[in-house]
Amino acid sequence: MRVLLAALILALAVCEVYPTAAPAANPSLVKRDYQVLPKPGEKIPLGPRHYFTYGFAKAPKLGNAVMRVEIFTREGVRDTSFTVKGDADMPSMRGAHAAGDQNFALSNKGVYLLPVRLVMPGDWEVSFVFLKDGKTVLRGCYLFDL
What share of the chain in percent tops pLDDT 90?
Answer: 69
Q: Tell me which DSSP letter residue 84 carries.
A: E
Looking at 2.60.40.1930, 1.10.8.420, 2.60.40.420, 3.20.20.10, the CATH number of the domain 35-145 comes to 2.60.40.1930
pLDDT, residue 100, reads 84
Give pTM, 2 decimals.
0.77
pLDDT, residue 130, reads 98
pLDDT in tens, 67-109: 999 999 999 999 999 999 999 999 988 888 788 899 999 999 9
Q: How many CB atoms sit inside 10 A of residue 18's CB?
A: 4
Domain chopping of the chain, boundaries: 35-145
Q: Which of 117, 112, 123, 101 is nearest to 53 (CA)?
A: 112
Q: Which residue has better confidence, 15 or 3?
A: 3
Q: How many CB atoms sit inside 10 A of residue 126's CB?
A: 23
Cβ burial, residue 113 (10 Å; 0-12/13-18/19+): middle
